[in-house]
Amino acid sequence: MSILVGPALHPAHLIPDLKGHSRVSVLGELARQAQRLGATREPAMLRSALLMRERLGSTAAGHGCAVPNARSLLVTRSVLLVGRSRGGVEWGAEDGAAVRLVLLVISPAETSAPGHVAAVAGAVEAARPVRARQRLFDSDSPGEIAELLGAVRA
Protein backbone atom coordinates (compact mmCIF):
# COMPACT_ATOMS: atom_id res chain seq x y z
CA MET A 1 0.00 0.00 0.00
CA SER A 2 1.55 3.32 -1.04
CA ILE A 3 0.73 6.82 0.11
CA LEU A 4 -0.75 8.88 -2.71
CA VAL A 5 -0.13 12.23 -1.04
CA GLY A 6 3.11 12.87 0.79
CA PRO A 7 3.75 15.40 3.59
CA ALA A 8 3.78 18.12 0.94
CA LEU A 9 1.56 18.08 -2.14
CA HIS A 10 3.66 18.71 -5.22
CA PRO A 11 2.23 21.79 -6.93
CA ALA A 12 1.94 19.78 -10.15
CA HIS A 13 -0.71 17.62 -8.43
CA LEU A 14 -2.97 20.64 -8.00
CA ILE A 15 -4.79 22.32 -10.88
CA PRO A 16 -6.29 25.36 -9.15
CA ASP A 17 -8.33 26.54 -12.12
CA LEU A 18 -9.57 23.82 -14.45
CA LYS A 19 -10.17 25.16 -17.94
CA GLY A 20 -12.75 22.55 -18.98
CA HIS A 21 -16.47 23.29 -18.80
CA SER A 22 -17.71 19.72 -19.24
CA ARG A 23 -17.00 16.39 -17.58
CA VAL A 24 -15.31 15.09 -20.76
CA SER A 25 -12.98 18.08 -21.12
CA VAL A 26 -12.07 18.12 -17.42
CA LEU A 27 -11.21 14.42 -17.52
CA GLY A 28 -9.04 15.06 -20.58
CA GLU A 29 -7.29 17.90 -18.78
CA LEU A 30 -6.58 15.72 -15.75
CA ALA A 31 -5.37 12.83 -17.93
CA ARG A 32 -2.90 15.15 -19.68
CA GLN A 33 -1.65 16.34 -16.30
CA ALA A 34 -1.17 12.70 -15.26
CA GLN A 35 0.93 12.28 -18.40
CA ARG A 36 3.08 15.30 -17.44
CA LEU A 37 3.63 13.69 -14.04
CA GLY A 38 4.80 10.48 -15.70
CA ALA A 39 1.88 8.41 -14.41
CA THR A 40 0.76 7.46 -17.92
CA ARG A 41 2.04 7.73 -21.46
CA GLU A 42 -1.42 7.42 -23.01
CA PRO A 43 -3.68 10.24 -21.80
CA ALA A 44 -6.32 9.56 -24.45
CA MET A 45 -6.68 5.95 -23.32
CA LEU A 46 -6.73 7.02 -19.68
CA ARG A 47 -9.51 9.48 -20.47
CA SER A 48 -11.42 6.62 -22.14
CA ALA A 49 -11.06 4.51 -18.99
CA LEU A 50 -12.29 7.42 -16.85
CA LEU A 51 -15.28 7.96 -19.16
CA MET A 52 -16.07 4.25 -18.97
CA ARG A 53 -16.20 4.59 -15.19
CA GLU A 54 -18.61 7.52 -15.57
CA ARG A 55 -20.83 5.33 -17.77
CA LEU A 56 -21.05 2.85 -14.91
CA GLY A 57 -22.37 5.65 -12.72
CA SER A 58 -21.48 9.25 -12.00
CA THR A 59 -18.52 9.69 -9.68
CA ALA A 60 -20.01 12.87 -8.23
CA ALA A 61 -19.96 12.46 -4.46
CA GLY A 62 -22.32 15.37 -3.74
CA HIS A 63 -21.73 18.84 -2.27
CA GLY A 64 -19.77 19.94 -5.34
CA CYS A 65 -17.16 17.19 -5.20
CA ALA A 66 -16.36 14.37 -7.66
CA VAL A 67 -13.89 11.50 -7.46
CA PRO A 68 -13.32 10.18 -11.00
CA ASN A 69 -11.13 7.12 -10.93
CA ALA A 70 -9.69 4.29 -13.00
CA ARG A 71 -7.42 1.30 -12.86
CA SER A 72 -5.59 0.87 -16.13
CA LEU A 73 -2.81 -1.05 -17.76
CA LEU A 74 -1.54 2.28 -19.05
CA VAL A 75 -1.10 3.80 -15.58
CA THR A 76 2.39 3.23 -14.21
CA ARG A 77 1.91 4.46 -10.64
CA SER A 78 -0.89 5.47 -8.29
CA VAL A 79 -1.59 9.18 -8.34
CA LEU A 80 -4.11 11.55 -6.81
CA LEU A 81 -4.70 14.85 -8.61
CA VAL A 82 -6.70 17.74 -7.24
CA GLY A 83 -8.55 20.00 -9.68
CA ARG A 84 -10.78 22.96 -8.91
CA SER A 85 -13.28 24.63 -11.19
CA ARG A 86 -14.37 28.17 -10.42
CA GLY A 87 -17.52 27.98 -12.51
CA GLY A 88 -18.44 24.41 -11.61
CA VAL A 89 -19.02 21.49 -13.98
CA GLU A 90 -22.20 19.45 -14.48
CA TRP A 91 -21.31 15.91 -13.32
CA GLY A 92 -24.64 14.12 -12.98
CA ALA A 93 -24.67 14.50 -9.20
CA GLU A 94 -27.72 13.24 -7.32
CA ASP A 95 -27.96 16.51 -5.41
CA GLY A 96 -27.73 18.41 -8.71
CA ALA A 97 -24.79 20.49 -7.50
CA ALA A 98 -22.17 21.53 -10.03
CA VAL A 99 -18.76 20.06 -9.26
CA ARG A 100 -16.10 22.52 -8.12
CA LEU A 101 -13.64 20.07 -6.61
CA VAL A 102 -12.34 17.05 -8.56
CA LEU A 103 -10.15 14.43 -6.87
CA LEU A 104 -8.77 12.12 -9.55
CA VAL A 105 -7.56 8.71 -8.35
CA ILE A 106 -5.71 6.48 -10.83
CA SER A 107 -4.05 3.16 -10.13
CA PRO A 108 -1.96 0.71 -12.16
CA ALA A 109 -3.67 -2.51 -13.28
CA GLU A 110 -1.65 -4.48 -10.71
CA THR A 111 -3.59 -2.74 -7.91
CA SER A 112 -6.31 -4.97 -6.46
CA ALA A 113 -9.95 -3.90 -6.79
CA PRO A 114 -10.31 -3.45 -2.99
CA GLY A 115 -7.05 -1.47 -2.88
CA HIS A 116 -8.19 0.90 -5.60
CA VAL A 117 -11.65 1.36 -4.07
CA ALA A 118 -9.98 2.02 -0.69
CA ALA A 119 -8.04 4.90 -2.28
CA VAL A 120 -11.28 6.26 -3.78
CA ALA A 121 -12.97 5.93 -0.39
CA GLY A 122 -10.10 7.81 1.23
CA ALA A 123 -10.58 10.71 -1.19
CA VAL A 124 -14.37 10.75 -0.68
CA GLU A 125 -14.02 10.67 3.09
CA ALA A 126 -11.32 13.35 3.14
CA ALA A 127 -13.71 15.74 1.36
CA ARG A 128 -16.82 14.78 3.34
CA PRO A 129 -16.53 17.01 6.45
CA VAL A 130 -17.89 20.45 5.60
CA ARG A 131 -14.89 22.35 6.94
CA ALA A 132 -12.36 20.11 5.21
CA ARG A 133 -14.25 20.41 1.93
CA GLN A 134 -14.34 24.18 2.23
CA ARG A 135 -10.60 24.26 2.83
CA LEU A 136 -10.06 22.03 -0.22
CA PHE A 137 -12.18 24.47 -2.25
CA ASP A 138 -10.35 27.55 -1.04
CA SER A 139 -6.82 26.74 0.06
CA ASP A 140 -3.91 27.75 -2.13
CA SER A 141 -1.44 26.03 0.15
CA PRO A 142 -0.20 22.67 -1.20
CA GLY A 143 0.87 21.82 2.35
CA GLU A 144 -2.63 22.31 3.74
CA ILE A 145 -4.21 20.31 0.91
CA ALA A 146 -1.68 17.52 1.49
CA GLU A 147 -2.59 17.52 5.16
CA LEU A 148 -6.30 17.21 4.33
CA LEU A 149 -5.68 14.37 1.90
CA GLY A 150 -2.93 12.71 3.89
CA ALA A 151 -4.98 9.64 4.72
CA VAL A 152 -5.58 8.71 1.08
CA ARG A 153 -3.66 5.58 0.22
CA ALA A 154 -3.66 2.99 -2.58
Min dist CB 114 to other proteins, Å, is 5
Q: Rounded CA gap, 149 and 22, in Å?
A: 25
Q: Rounded CA gap, 126 and 118, in Å?
A: 12
CB 61 within 8 A of CB 67: yes
Q: In terms of CB distance, is 66 or 146 closer to other proteins?
A: 66
Rounded to whole angstroms, what are the CA distances from 146 to 18, 60, 75, 113?
19, 21, 22, 24
Min dist CB 34 to other proteins, Å, is 14
Q: In terms of CB distance, is 53 or 153 closer to other proteins?
A: 53
Q: Rounded CA gap, 142 and 147, in Å?
A: 9
Min dist CB 59 to other proteins, Å, is 7
Min dist CB 56 to other proteins, Å, is 4
Q: In terms of CB distance, is 11 or 114 closer to other proteins?
A: 114
Q: In terms of CB distance, is 24 or 117 closer to other proteins?
A: 117
**Residues whose CB falls within 8 Å of the CB of residue 56, separated by 6 or more in sequence, listed in order:** none
Q: In terms of CB distance, is 21 or 128 closer to other proteins?
A: 128
In the chain, what's the furthest Cα-to-Cα distance? 36
Give CA angle at 112 (65, 80), nearest 5°: 35
Min dist CB 11 to other proteins, Å, is 28
Q: What residues make contact with other proteins under the rule CB under 8 A?
A: 41-42, 45, 48-49, 52-53, 55-59, 61-62, 70-74, 76, 94, 108-110, 113-114, 116-118, 120-121, 124
